[in-house]
Amino acid sequence: MPIVFAGAASHAPGMTAWTEAAPKQQADAFLGDYRKLGLRLAASNPDVIVALTVEHWANFFLNNMPAFCIGRADHYDGPIEEWLRIPKARLRGDAILAAQLLDACLDGGFDPTFSDELLLDHATFLPLHFLNPGMAVPVVPVILNALTPPMPTARRCFAFGQVVGKFLQKNSKRIAIIATGGLSHWPGEAQHGTINIRFDQQFLENLIKGDYAKLTAYSHEEIHREAGSGGHEIRTWIALAGAVEGWKAELLAYEPVVPWATGCGLVEFHQ
Amino acid sequence: MSLYQLQKFIYHVNRDAAQRERYRQDPAAFIKGYELTDAEARAALDVNVRALYSMGVHSLLLRPFTLLHKLSNEDYAKALKNLE
């Protein structure tokens, strides 16, 4: 079976850690849509979830920072944050699919690192909390460096996604693929709390139109200036667009949630 | 300037429970394990948010480090006020 579900979602920790700081109506609407996306994922009955994700100094430091890393473990523990208000869990992995994916990347012109032990933080656990209730479905995390420069370019992320998607489409398992991160936010920075609605909406429009030329043309500098250090995480969305190239993106929700300090988006892709 | 060492110190305190405990017991002794300038060591020991940020410590290392020191969102924001 090929890819049976594809979706992208923001992972602002405030969604669970300080939910009630947001206006109730806004929080209820957005998190309701997040759960709706989870129901759609469940309805696709996947054997495994491939998560195009990022991390925030959970595993890697400046002594060794991979551009792309594929998790090849049998399980993953998380979330590492005590304050996230998401129960700690041991998440099943899929080492076989991960190993096959690594081979496919190497054959396809990419050389990701691999890891048989990854700790997952809110970047992965928060979306799975909504999209994979009870952590029932095994996960293969694929970490992109959206944390510290130099980062893989938007063009390279899209191409990486194409290689990943091409392999997954031919796999015998039913695969859900998700991207997590963004949209504009400046976590822990002097501009913390800023949300660039104009940038977010333009990005979502590019995604919905399937404008791959624009999606792959985002420069590091533009993202950094317009969407903040957290905005670099849109690389996972761009990679997902590459993985399901030709699929139509549907916007489920966009909310600039000031107390969560993030432009929050939810998108599903349809074949 | 030894930003790498400064961030390494913070990364270890943030991410490694055993090292965090050693740091908590004697910060001044713990920090000697890192090659820091006097200004960096002072900023680190004082948990001087504005100085550490200005030295280039990554925000996602700095904020968790300050959370370990119970710094509120408001006080964190105040410390960075009017910085670029």
Query: pLDDT per residue over B36-67, tens digit each?
Result: 999 999 999 999 999 999 999 999 999 999 99
The structure's pTM equals 0.97
Q: A270: part of which helix (H) or strand (E)?
A: strand A262-270
pLDDT score of A219 = 98
* CA atoms within a 13 Å half-sphere pointing along the CA-CB vector of A129: 24
Place of tokens 């910085």: B83
Query: Among this protein's residues, is A11 annotated catalytic?
Result: no
Confidence of residue B84 (pLDDT cuts 50, 70, 90): confident
pLDDT score of B1 = 59
Q: In whole angstroms, what is the distance from residue B28 CA to residue A115 CA? A: 35
pLDDT score of A66 = 98
B8:A190 CB<8 A:
no
Phi, psi of B33 (to 5 degrees): -75, 0
B contact set with A (CB within 8 A): 4, 7-8, 11, 14-15, 53, 58-64, 67, 76-77, 80-84
B11:A61 CB<8 A:
yes
ipTM of the complex: 0.94
Confidence of residue B70 (pLDDT cuts 50, 70, 90): very high
Q: In whole angstroms, what is the distance from residue A178 CA to residue A52 CA? A: 6
- What integer is the mean pLDDT of A177-205? 97
- Smallest Cα distance from A123 to chain B, Å: 13
Tens digit of each residue's pLDDT (9 = 90 or more) over A130-171: 999 999 999 999 999 999 999 999 999 999 999 999 999 999
% of residues, chain B, pLDDT over 90: 92
Tens digit of each residue's pLDDT (9 = 90 or more) over A20-59: 999 999 999 999 999 999 999 999 999 999 999 999 999 9
Tell me which DSSP letter residue A101 carries.
H
User: What token pair was written down for A199?
Assistant: 């940038």
A62:B62 CB<8 A:
no
| Exposed/middle/buried for residue B1 (C-beta within 10 Å: 0-12, 13-18, 19+) | exposed
Query: Among this protein's residues, is A122 annotated catalytic?
Result: yes
Please give the domain boundaries of chain A with CATH numbers for all domains: 3-270 (3.40.830.10)
